[in-house]
Amino acid sequence: MPLLSSFRGILDAVASAPTPLWELPIAEARRNAEVGAAFLGGEPEHVGLVRDRTIPGPGGPISVRVYQPDGYGPHGVLVYFHGGGYVMCSIDTHDTLCRQLCNRGRCVVVSVDYRLAPEHPFPAGLDDAIAAMQWVQDNAAEVNGDRSRVAVGGDSAGANFAAVAAIVNRDDSRRPGLRLQLLLYPGTDRRGGYASLVENGEGYLLSTAMRQWFGRLYILATADLADWRLSPMCAATLDELAPAHVVTAEFDPLRDEGDAYAERLASSGVPVEHRRVSGMIHGFMQYGSLVPEVMTEIDLVGARLRKALA
Per-domain boundaries in the chain: 6-308
In the set 156, 196, 207, 231, the catalytic residue is 156
Give the pLDDT score at 181: 99
- Residue 36's pLDDT band (cuts 50, 70, 90): confident
Report helix, strand or coil for 83.
coil
Q: What is the DSSP string of 231-251?
A: -GGGSS--TTPPPEEEEEEEE
- pLDDT (mean) for 262-284: 99
**Could you tell me the sign of the dihedral formed by the alpha carbons of 189, 182, 206, 266, in that order?**
positive
Percent of the chain with pLDDT over 70: 100
From 75, 94, 245, 282, active-site residue: 282
Query: pLDDT class for 1, splitting at 50, 70, 90?
Result: confident
Catalytic-labelled residue, pool 113, 127, 252, 256: 252
6-308 CATH fold: Rossmann fold (3.40.50)
Residue 30: its H or E element: helix 26-41
3-state secondary structure of 152: strand
Query: Which regions of 114-172 does DSSP assign to beta strands (E)?
Result: 145-155
Residue 39: band (very low, low, confident or very high) from pLDDT cuts 50, 70, 90: confident
Write the pLDDT tens digit of every residue in 213-239.
Answer: 999 999 998 889 999 999 999 999 999
Closest to 119 measured CA to CA, from 187, 186, 56, 30: 30
Does the active-site annotation cover 282?
Answer: yes
Residue 41, pLDDT above cutoff 80: no
**Does residue 55 have a pLDDT over 80?**
yes
Instruction: Please state, in angstroms and rounded to a whole number, the distance separating the CA atoms of residues 197 and 259.
Output: 13
What is the tens place of the pLDDT at every residue in 149-191? 999 999 999 999 999 999 999 999 999 999 999 999 999 999 9
Average pLDDT, rounded, for the chain: 97
CB 146 within 8 A of CB 76: yes
pTM of the model: 0.98
